[in-house]
Amino acid sequence: MSAPVLKIDELVTEFTIRGQKVPAVRGVSLEVKKGKTLVVLGESGSGKSVMLRSIMRVLPRGAHLSGSITYNGDNVLDKSEAEMRRLRGNWISMVFQDSLSAMDPLFRVGEQVGENIREHRRFPKTTIRDQVIRLFGEVGIPSPAARTRSYPHEMSGGMRQRSVIAMALSNTPDILLADEPTTALDVTIQAQILSLFKQIQREYGMTMILVTHDIGVAVEMADEIAVMYAGKVVEYGDAKQVLGAPAHPYTQGLIAATPQKGKRGRLQVIPGQPPAITAMPGGCAFASRCRYATERCRKEMPPHTQLAGGHMTACYKTEDGQALAQLVRQ
Amino acid sequence: MLNFLLRRIVYMIPTLLGVSFVVFMLIQIVPGNPVDALLPPEASQEAKENMIRDLGLDRPLLLQYMNWLGKVVQGDFGQSIIKKYSINELMGEALANSMLLALASSLFSFFFAVLLGVYAAYRPNSWVASLGNMLAICGISVPNFWGGLILMGVFGIMLGWLPPMGMTSMGGGGFLDVLAHLVLPAVAAGMVTLGTMTRMVRSNVYELLNQEFVLTLRAKGARPITILLHVMKNATPPILTVAGLQFGNLLGGSVLVETVFSWPGLGHLIYQGITQRDYPIIQAGILVISIFFVVLNIIVDALHALIDPKVQRV
């Protein structure tokens, strides 16, 4: 087994809202191996996007990070802003959800992609232009030379997402972070973009962390899956294990709430809402929505429990092997 | 682009016709007439009537308007009733002086507004931001003629650093002399603009800094200067719109500042025209200012279209 490219240890990201510290990420530990894809699954407000942005340290003012994020033997959180700048878009790149608002409306798409190269390397203008055209071809944009001269609003959503991916690839980074990269697209385009990601990963041998709320995307892409709920990882492991034998009641609920081929009848819902980050309960954050919850769940946060094959979950139910076996059978 | 400009220039015509007509008629509503200002109070009724006839003020209004318009179209604003000079000459000189003042106060106010506004947007909790806010409130709420008097009193008279009024010293008139005379009225006239623009720039840039594309830029590892460049390009259209209007205001609206500082500009001229009921001067002055407003608007729109690809360029 190869060593992890990126290792996140007990990451806590807090925001200061009206003088009060509010945690959005509450102690997340994850790692990704070279050339693999980690999918972070969770509903909106689970802290998954903030976690992803914490890796790059592109957070709003007043955000405070603690724990450690190890990349190439260094803790990213200790780096100066200038060192971070050299890392961003160069060794670690990011693809955002909404490609329209992710681009400056007043600059041509080609310029914005070329800018990513220009900010990190000194190349003559013509070299950069050629590179941008090559990248556009690589991500499957038809007539790339002409498209570099378009403005963002002149492109379709799919083309725009492709050019945002081209932008992220422009310095052949080690790690690609993608924040809901297909959510804003319709289904056929989604499938195209996902297969583009796979193709890129094959060609570049790139490591990917993909954040999504869509189990379909996770099934398609993940080598490993981390399920996040209320700022914590509640289940983490090999994709097959997590999807095939979900150990945490939340993951089970998520899977049960997803339509599946060949299955009829009403979809199950997870009742209730995730807790607001300003009013986090003391025990397990999922307790109020969990049908297996006990007094103990409400009072104490369950620790991470190792299951077979590196599979891990944070639930008291799984501590007693009995209950787990029951849950899996259901 | 050429098409766009041509069309806008054609659209100018009805606007200006409307303005000239309204101004011509409005002046007639104001009580008093130039004859009272020209003749001594004890002049006989007959002398007054003779003069009114000589000036053509007894003819139907519409006819007077058409006569005047006919000449204006040929570039002749006629003669001042009171001063007996050609208005073209009076107006030309006053316009040049006003232009100078308007340019100086725009330079002053635009420069500091952008500087303070951008800084305040980047560091909303700094003392510079508070200073900018305070300046903005003062600029907007302090009447410029009063501010002008205070400036004049402090820097012109108490400290004696700068000449308090006029455009040139006795026997002076060199570049530096005019520049020294320009400082106080330019600052006084520019304070309102400084106030409005600082707030506008600050809120615009602040909003832009929270845009998603700025996040992308940061995630690209863009240098702070690159980010500032993107933000400023996006902030330019609204700033230009306000700047265009403000420049027009400074050109035509600094009547009080010009009066306080005895600056021989357009505002001063119109002010005199109004007190003496010198109709042709008022009409010419207001028309000239309107032309500037409309032209400024066209320039702003054209620049807007150049910057923003989503604005139609036809």
CATH code of B251's domain:
1.10.3720.10
Q: How far is B209 from chain A (nearest CA, A)?
A: 10
Q: How far is B204 from chain A (nearest CA, A)?
A: 15
Q: How far is A301 from chain B (nearest CA, A)?
A: 34
Residue A320 has pLDDT above 60, yes or no: no
Domains held by chain B: number? 2
Residue B295 in any domain: the answer is: no
Print the domain residue range for B185: 94-276
Q: Are residues B45 and B113 in the same domain?
A: no
Q: Which residues contact A127 (CB under 8 A, 6 or more apart)?
A: none
Provide the H-helix boundaries in A58-213. 81-87, 109-118, 125-138, 144-147, 157-169, 187-204
Q: Are residues B212 and B116 in the same domain?
A: yes
Q: Are residues B65 and B213 in the same domain?
A: no
Residue B198 in any domain: the answer is: yes
Residue B78 in any domain: the answer is: no
Domain end call among B276, B291, B307: B276
CB distance A107–B220 less than 8 Å? no
Q: Are residues B168 and B226 in the same domain?
A: yes
Domain end call among B38, B73, B108: B73
Domain end call among B13, B38, B73: B73
Residue B311 in any domain: the answer is: no
Judged by average pLDDT, the poorest of A209-213, B73-77, B204-208 is B73-77
Quickly list DSSP for A235-270.
Answer: EEEEHHHHHHS--SHHHHHHHHTS--TT--SPPP--
pLDDT of residue B314: 52
Residue B267 in any domain: the answer is: yes
Residue B301 in any domain: the answer is: no
Q: Are residues B152 and B31 in the same domain?
A: no
Residue B282 in any domain: the answer is: no
Q: How many CB atoms lie within 10 A of CB B186?
A: 26
Confidence of residue B150 (pLDDT cuts 50, 70, 90): confident
CB-CB contact of B269 with B91 (8 Å): yes
How far apart are the C-alpha atoms of A211 and A227, rounded to whole Å? 10
Q: Are residues B110 and B230 in the same domain?
A: yes
A19 — contact with chain B (CB < 8 Å)? Answer: no
pLDDT of residue A330: 47
**CA atoms within 13 A of residue B215's CA, in its CB half-sphere:** 25
Q: Are residues B40 and B122 in the same domain?
A: no
Q: Are residues B32 and B102 in the same domain?
A: no
pLDDT of residue A326: 52
Residues from chain B that touch A93, judged by Cβ atoms under 8 A, are 219-220
pLDDT of residue B204: 93
Residue B296 in any domain: the answer is: no
pLDDT of residue A322: 47
CB distance B310–A153 less than 8 Å? yes
Q: Are residues B186 and B128 in the same domain?
A: yes
Q: How many CB pairs under 8 A join A and B?
A: 74
Q: Are residues B8 and B45 in the same domain?
A: yes
Q: Are residues B119 and B23 in the same domain?
A: no
How far apart are the C-alpha atoms of A238 and A226, rounded to whole Å? 9
How far apart are the C-alpha atoms of A260 and B84, rounded to whole Å? 93
Taking CA atoms, A73 is separated from A35, A70, A204, in Å, by 18, 6, 22
pTM reported for the whole predicted model: 0.81
Q: Are residues B181 and B47 in the same domain?
A: no
Confidence of residue A178 (pLDDT cuts 50, 70, 90): very high
